[in-house]
Amino acid sequence: MEKNFKTTNISPSTLKKSGIICSIIVVLIILIANSTYEVKEQEQAVLLTLGKASTVSDSGLHFKIPFIQSVKKVDTTIQGISIGYDINTGETIEEESLMITSDYNFVNVDFFIEYKVSDPIKAVYASRNPVDILKNISQSCIRTVIGSYNVDSVLTTGKYEIQSKIKEMIDTRLEKDDIGISLINITIQDAEPPTEEVMEAFKAVETAKQGKETALNNANKYRNEKIPAAEAEVDKILQKAEADKQERINEATGQVARFNKMYEEYKKFPEVTKERMFYETMEEVLPNLKIIINSGNTTVQELLPIDSFTTNNTTTTTQEGEN
C-alpha cells in the first residue's frame, strides 16, 4: 500500500517577513518595558534626560522615553548607621569605638546615627557613596568632641551636651559638603572604660566622689546648724559690750560731774575741801581700822590707832585667804 505525502514549500520571502515581525514584536515589548517606572511611597526618583537630572516625587506609575531617559530611585525614609559596633550582631568594633578624652583616659563609646536623603539628585550624583562620607564625617566630629571632654563627662553627666555638640558639628560639615543627606539625630548608645581594671578603678573613683558629696553635705549641715548659734552668741557679746560701754560712759560722765562739782567747792573753801577729801580717802584706804583723831591745841592732827596695823592686816589677810 503506497501513501502519497504532500510537501509544502515556504518561500524565502515569507520567512523573512516572519522574522521581521518577530523582531518588531520583541522591540515593542522592550520599549514598553522600558517606558514605564513606578515610584513607591517614601521614595523619590531621579530622572536623567540627556544629562539633565530632575526629581520625581509623586508616587505611582510614570512614563519615560526609552534609551533617552534613565531613572534612579532613592529611599527617603529615615535610615540609620552605627559607629563603634556592628548593628546586626551587636559586637564591638574597637577601632571605631575606642577614643581618648581630654584628661588622657581611654573610653569605648558607641553611637547610632539617623539620617535621611534631603536632595535626591545630589545624593545620587554629587558623590559616589554619600553614606560612607556621612560616616567618615561623623567619626571625625565624634573624636574631636570626645577629645575635648574629660572621662567623667563622657561616661556620666555630659552625654546630652556631647551629643548636641556632635550633631551641630556634623550639620555644619554636611551643609558645607552638600552631599544631599541631612542628619536627623545622633545618640550615644553606650560608653564605658575599655578594660575591667579601668572599670573597677572608675567605680572606685565614683564611690570616692559619692563619699565626698556625702561629707560635703554633712559639713554643710553642720555649718548650717552652727552658724545661727554662733551669730546669736555674737549678738549677745555685742549687746553686752554695748551695755558695758554705755555703763562706762555713764560712770565716766558721773565722775566728771562729781569732779567738777568738787572743784567748784574747792575753789570756794580750799582748806575745808582738802580736809574732807583727806578723811574720805583714809576711810577708803583703811575701812576697818579704828583710830582717834587728836587735834589738840596744835596745828598738826594726830592719828591714834586703837587696833594694831599688823593685827588688822593679818586678820584681813586671813579672812581673804579663807574666802
| Nearest Cα to Cα of residue 113 among 54, 186, 22 | 186
pLDDT digits (tens, 9 = 90+) for 258-315: 888 877 877 777 777 777 777 777 777 666 666 656 555 555 555 555 555 555 444 4
**pLDDT surpasses 50 at 120:** yes
Mean pLDDT to the nearest integer, 90-102? 89
Task: State yes or no: pLDDT of 236 exceeds 50.
Answer: yes
Is residue 1's pLDDT more than 50? no
Q: Are strands 98-100 and 106-117 parallel, antiparallel or unpaired?
A: antiparallel
Among residues 150, 139, 138, which one has the least CA distance to residue 106? 150
pTM score = 0.53
Q: Which superfamily does CATH assign the domain made up of 79-194 to?
A: Band 7 domain (3.30.479.30)
The 10s digit of each residue's pLDDT in 38-63 is: 888 889 888 888 888 888 888 888 88
Q: Give pLDDT, residue 318.
A: 46
Within a 13 Å sphere around the CA of 26, how many CA atoms are in the beta-carbon half? 6
Considering only CA atoms, which of 301, 293, 291 is closest in space to residue 271? 301
pLDDT at 2: 46
Average pLDDT of span 157-162 = 91
What was the pLDDT predicted at 145? 95
Among 106, 194, 103, smallest CA distance to 150 is for 103
257 against 166, higher pLDDT: 166
Q: Phi and psi (nearest 5°) for 86?
A: -80, 120
